[in-house]
Amino acid sequence: MTKLRVGVIGTGSIAGCHLDAYLDNPDVDLVAVCDMNLERAKNVADRYHAQRAYGEVDEMLADPEIDAVSICTWNNTHAEFAIKAIEAGKHVLVEKPLSRTYAEAQAVEKAVAGSDRVLQVGFVRRHSPNCQVLKSFIDEGELGEIYYAKASCIRRMGNPGGWFADKEISGGGPLIDIGVHVIDLCWYLMGSPKAVSVSANAYNKLGNRSHIKTMPRYRAADYDPEKNSVEDMVNALVRFENGASLLLETSYSLHAPKDNLSVSVYGDKGGADLEPGLMIATEKHQTILNVTPQLASSTFQLKEGFQNEIDNFVAACRGEAEGLSPAWHGAEIMKIMDAIYASAESGREVSLV
């Protein structure tokens, strides 16, 4: 079978993770990269030995020698570029979040439904071995019925600046940027239940903390400390149709003594911490047991996660595997996040039925 010919749209910070993984996949030919900053695109094309560098997305999508694209641009472009790419006959891997709003996500879903192309959402943490092992235990019924999940994704050092801090471009702050990962992990492990109501709070108390110079932070390719129109902290309670619930907290800036990333799910036969390290709790012979699956790493590893995500996408495009994160999953997560913002805005519970 011939190689999948790939183009990468957006050549900023996260694009490197996609490009490294494409280069390490023997079934891929990296054809082109594209960025509205053409200089950046050219430099990245040189570094990764891509044949072409484009400054315009439409030009890249018109390239008949490209079968599939990764979309690694700002959130305000995700839905538009994904739809255009599908219409141009390309398979699509679009970075998280799928879009800025649920309405945009529904438009993507519609475009995908009317085509025979693959669209995958970049929920990279699903592809981590700790998540896949836990998912297989859950699918075999080892935890019983999952009725509660809890996730915390706390950064304390401030937002990544630039477009991440501009609500019009990003769609929101830590919720849509980093909270999205842990909401998705819980929802995926819970078996993709339908959300029925959301109660949430959003705060903007500490701002972007750009005055703090002593700690490193994730930065947009174009960091600009002047921009800051997004929330810095969100908490939320999501109820699902099957009676299960999810408790979430996420921040860019918080007076917390340390960053935290934790994800747990609890069922009537067992529970598990996925992060900060996979461990399963259950009981046997009137005794509580903590069981630790032995993995090369019990926690998410960036390089491994992206390699698995890209390998899964490439295999799905070639018809050799089922993609792990279809468009409707991305849309359901957007529906929950839209409701979280709406509840925080109104100060009331939002019903989704």
List interacting residues with ligand NAD (CB under 6 A).
10-15, 35-37, 40, 57, 72-75, 77, 95-96, 122, 124, 162-163, 177, 220-222
**Shortest distance in whole angstroms from residue 11 CB to ligand NAD:** 5
What the block records as the tokens of 229 is 């129109």
Q: For residue 106, give the amino acid letter.
A: Q
Which residue has the closest beta carbon to ligand NAD? 12
What the block records as the tokens of 108 is 């993507």
**Cα separation, 25 vs 27, whole angstroms:** 6
Of the pair 267, 305, the CB lying nearest ligand NAD is at: 305
The set of residues, in sequence order, having a beta carbon less than 8 Å from that of 129 and lying 6+ positions away, is 295, 296, 297, 304, 308
**Shortest distance in whole angstroms from residue 181 CB to ligand NAD:** 7
Of the pair 45, 352, the CB lying nearest ligand NAD is at: 45
**Shortest distance in whole angstroms from residue 341 CB to ligand NAD:** 16
Q: For residue 341, give the amino acid letter.
A: Y
**Shortest distance in whole angstroms from residue 29 CB to ligand NAD:** 22
Work out the widest C-alpha separation in the chain, in whole angstroms. Answer: 65
Buried b (16+ CB within 10 A) or exposed e, 40-71: bbbebbeebebebbbeebeebbebeebbbbbb
Of the pair 146, 220, the CB lying nearest ligand NAD is at: 220
Of the pair 148, 218, the CB lying nearest ligand NAD is at: 218
Of the pair 117, 125, the CB lying nearest ligand NAD is at: 125
Element holding 310 (H helix, E strand): helix 302-317
Q: For residue 237, give the amino acid letter.
A: L
**Is omega for the bond preceding 276 within 30 degrees of 0, making it cis?**
yes
Indicate the DSSP class of residue 253.
B
**Shortest distance in whole angstroms from residue 242 CB to ligand NAD:** 28
**Shortest distance in whole angstroms from residue 191 CB to ligand NAD:** 23
Of the pair 10, 179, the CB lying nearest ligand NAD is at: 10
